[in-house]
Structures are given as structure tokens and as C-alpha cells.
Amino acid sequence: MARLKRTLLLAAFCGLAYGQTALTTIQDTLFKADGTLFNGSLTVQWSTFDANNIGTIVQQSEAISVVNGNLFLQLVPNATAVPPANVYKVHYQSDGREQFAETWTVPTSTVPLRVSQVRVGSQAVTSTGGEGGSDNSSTPIAESNVVGLQADLGQRPIKGVGFGTNGVAIVDDNGVLQTAVGDPGNCVFIDGTTGPCGQLTSSAAEVPGGTMDGVNNTFILANTPLGSSLMLFRNGLNLTASSDYNLNGSTIQFVSGALPQPGDALNAFYTVDTSAGGNITALTAPGGSIRTGAAQVICSAAGTTTNAAASTSLGGCDIPAAGLLPGDRIEVRFTLTHSGMTSGFSFQVNWGNTTIFSRIAGTQDAAVAGLADAALRAAGTQFSLESWGTVLPFLPGLVTAPAQSGLEVVFRAGLATAGSDSVTLTNYTVLRYPAN
């Protein structure tokens, strides 16, 4: 019986006798699945922890023999140990190999406990003797007991009151995650604001309107800068927003002590939003003069490809209401390529809610091109059109469209029969010639 009563009395290593400490006894009869008594051994492992009334229990392990199912051992209670997640890891060996492993949390008890009363998790053992599965221990670990965890968590962005799902996340001025607010079709800009999507154009070396006399503090830009894109230079020095000036829309107001003086050179560089809801006026040349007769590139890009039979949008371009002024001219150019010889294809161009091109090309048309010249009037737009292809005959035309307050030019195409053929919008360009 002396061997059966071997104990895992950790306090004994500190020179204490069994009766001097409050140990918990685990006593049980173990069986195998076929009902016969278990014969083998248990290896109990533990990490260093601090126990009440004893002190520090150093990391170690102990082997316990089990003969004819009889299990008897005494352990230092670890249910209130520090750190609180410390558990005993118990490995069962029999028939020359490890069978499985489980974890124990031992409470303080004056009466013997059975294994089922201290077991908190178990693990399977693979055929090679290693452990599989996962520890099912439900003992929580306090964040304060994990070294560096709270400091690391403090470095991550946290959710703000405006945080939501199914949206674009932005980081506000306080480093807090918020959700961008806007319509589903809007774009999110670099400063976290939202607005209609569109092509961007820039104003370079623009001289703001206003008298530089050392007294006037208000100057006006030709357009409203997009977000925080404005860079304002005075005599070659980059001025600082809020410290040197404040921007409200297209109005610059200089603070006291930073007023432009006679003979100063004042230049503005910024990006303009030219989306359907944005703003666009005649671009300025260096020195502030208006560029009359110069074409403005509203958009120019490569489109996408389709091999579907249904008409598919391959590209598009927003034209704002400010870019559709009476007397303006808009020029639309596009080219399409067709690969394959099994299917013809159709293509069309929509000017807002008006279709200005709609033609069908054959299987031998490897490419098609088109040009629309739009003359804007108060009552609407008149188009002169041209389109042609590899074998598709040249076709001119005239079309009218009603006046619209901002619109999108959309380029569409689709195959006659879906298959291995494809149609690609290789390029589209929209130019604006503002009225003088």
C-alpha cells in the first residue's frame, strides 16, 4: 500500500510534512472501457504557481502507479492559484504507450475527491503518441496576467460610436474606427469624406483672386478644392492651414500677421472634383489667366472586357452640371477590339438617359471606333456622330438629347452568342471645350 499512497506533495520539496499543509486527496477506482480494472500509471505535470498557505510551487512532474484500478494521490489545490489559469496536466499510460491526457483543477477539500470532480478538459492521443485535439479547459485567463497584452491591445484602433457593418471603415482624428457616411454609389476620398465618384482634374499654379495690399485678407479660388488637397505657396514657401490661413469652400482667409503684401507671389495647387455632383470651370494658366479654347480632359482610360451575350457596361465617365454649360462642346471618342471569329457583337454609347450610338458588328470586325461631337444648348444637346469598324461600314449621324443636370457617359457591348469570343473597350476619352 505504500506505493499506492505515493503523493504529489509539492510542499514536501520545501521541507514540510504532509500533515502540515492543506492538501486535497484524489481517490478513485479507474476502469477500462471493457469493464476491467485499469493498470498503468499517471504522469502529473504542472507549471510554477503560487498557492495559498504554502507559497511558490515550482514546475515539476510526478508519476503515479495505478494497480488494479486503485488511484490515490494528494495535490496542492490550484483552483485559486496565481496565475489563475494554472492546471495540472495528467497523462494516462497503459500497455506501453500513452492513452490520452486531461487537465485537472483541484479545489480545497477536506474529503477525498473523485477524478470526475477535478477534470476540466481532455485531449486525444494520436497513433504516434502525440497529443491531438485541443484543451477544453474553461478556466478564464485575466488580461492583466498576460505580460504586455493590455499595452498591445491599447495600440489597436477601437470602435467609435459611428462604427457599423457593411461599409467602408475610416480612422477619425482621434484614431477611432468609424464608418464612412454617404450614398451607396459614392466614393470615399483620402481624407475620409464621401461624394459622387468621378474623374479628378487639378489646378496648378493658380493665382487666387484678391488684392495683395497688406490689408485685404480674403482671396477667391476658381474652384472648390477637393478635401484637404490645397497647397498654398507665398513667395515659394508652403503656407500652413489654420496657422496662416483658413479655407471655406473656395474662399481663402488669411490670419492676422500673414496677409499677402504688395509684390508677393501667391500660387495655389489643388485637386478639383469633376463628378456629376462636383464642380468644374475653365482651367487657369500660370499667372491666373483663363485658358480659353483649351480642351479639358474630363476622363481618359482603358475599359474592361466582356464575353457575355448580355449588354455590359465596359466603362463610364461622369460629367458635372458645371461642365454642361450652353456654348460648351463635348467630344467623346472610343475604340473597341474583338477577339475570336465565332460571334458578332453589339455596342452602344449612352449619354445620360439617351442612347447616341447603337450598332451591330460582324464576326470579322476585329475593331470598331466611334466619335461623337456634342454641341450644348440651353434646350438640349445636338450630336454629330461617326462610327466604323474593320468591315463595319462608316456611318455618320445626327442625334439630339434633352438638357440634363449632370450625367454619365456609359460605353456598353455584348456578344451575339456567349462563348470564347470577347469584346474589350480599349480606350475612351471625353474632352470639354468650354465656351469663351
Secondary structure (DSSP) of 328-341? -EEEEEEEEEEE-S
Q: Give tens-digit pLDDT for 140-190.
A: 677 777 778 888 887 788 888 778 777 788 887 778 888 887 666 667 776
| Per-residue model confidence (pLDDT) at position 9 | 40
Whether residue 418 lies inside any domain: the answer is yes
The answer to whether the Cα torsion of 182, 188, 190, 196 is positive or negative is negative
Q: Which three cell numbers stand for residue 164?
A: 457599423
Q: Are residues 191 and 218 in the same domain?
A: no
Decide if pLDDT at 416 tops 60. yes
- pLDDT, greater one: 86 or 239: 239
Q: What is the mean predicted confidence (pLDDT) over 319-333?
A: 86
> In this structure, what CATH number is given to the domain that contains residue 344?
2.60.120
**11 φ, ψ to 5°?**
-65, -20
Q: In which band, very low, low, confident or very high, does the pLDDT at 220 lie, cut at 50, 70 and 90?
A: very high
Higher pLDDT, 164 or 104: 104
* Cα 350 to Cα 179: distance, rounded to the nearest angstrom: 34
Torsion angles phi and psi, residue 185, rounded to 5: -90, 0
**What was the pLDDT predicted at 199?**
52
Average pLDDT of the residues in 303-307: 92
Q: Across residues 78-88, what is the average pLDDT?
A: 79
Q: How far is CA 150 from the centre of its chain?
A: 25
Domain assignment of residue 65, yes or no: yes
Find out whether 208 and 245 touch, Cβ atoms under 8 Å.
Answer: no
Domain boundary among 111, 143, 175: 143
In-domain check, residue 289: no
242 pLDDT more than 50: yes
Per-residue pLDDT band for 10 (boundaries 50, 70, 90) equals: very low
- d(Cα 217, Cα 27) in Å, to the nearest integer? 90
Percent over 70 (pLDDT), the chain: 81
Do residue 192 and residue 244 come from a single domain? no
Residue 286 located in a structural domain: no
Asked if 76 and 168 sit in the same domain, the reply is no
For position 78, which CATH number holds? Answer: 2.60.40
pLDDT at 162: 74
In a domain, 394, yes or no: yes
Whether the pLDDT of residue 281 is over 70: the answer is: no
Is 153 part of any domain?
Answer: no
| Model confidence at 95: pLDDT above 90 | no
Residues 223 and 247 in one domain: yes
Domain assignment present for 308? yes
Query: Average pLDDT, stretch 201-225?
Result: 88
Q: Distance (Å, rounded) from C-alpha 411 to C-alpha 398?
A: 18
Domain containing 223: what range? 200-273
Q: Which long-range contacts (CB under 8 A, 24 or more apart) does 130-136 make?
A: 131/101, 135/103
Q: What is the pLDDT of residue 211?
A: 92
Phi/psi region, residue 427 (left: phi>0; alpha: psi -120 to 50; beta: rest), is: beta
Report how far residue 340's alpha carbon sits from residue 345's, in angstroms, rounded to the nearest whole number: 11
On whether both 56 and 98 belong to a single domain, the answer is yes
User: How far is Cα 267 from Cα 155, in angstroms, rounded to an integer?
Assistant: 40
Claim to verify: residue 338 and residue 381 sit in the same structural domain: yes
| pLDDT at 374 exceeding the cut of 90 | yes
- Verify that 301 and 426 share a domain, yes or no: yes
| E strand spans, 144-265 | 158-159, 169-171, 176-179, 186-188, 194-196, 200-206, 218-220, 231-234, 237-238, 245-248, 251-254
Residues 15 and 99 reside in one and the same domain: yes
User: Do 108 and 92 form a contact (C-beta atoms < 8 A)?
Assistant: no
pLDDT the model gives residue 64: 93
Query: Are 305 and 425 part of one and the same domain?
Result: yes
Mean pLDDT of all residues in the chain?
81
Q: Does position 116 have pLDDT exceeding 80, yes or no?
A: yes
> Which of 23-37, 104-118, 175-189, 235-249 has the least mean pLDDT?
175-189
Alpha-carbon span 105 to 209, nearest angstrom: 79
Q: Is the pTM of this model over 0.75?
A: no
Q: Are residues 224 and 126 in the same domain?
A: no
Q: Would residue 108 count as lying in a domain?
A: yes
How many structural domains does the chain have?
Answer: 4
Work out the average pLDDT over 113-131. Answer: 65
**Claim to verify: residue 135 and residue 164 sit in the same structural domain:** no
Same domain? 304 vs 425: yes
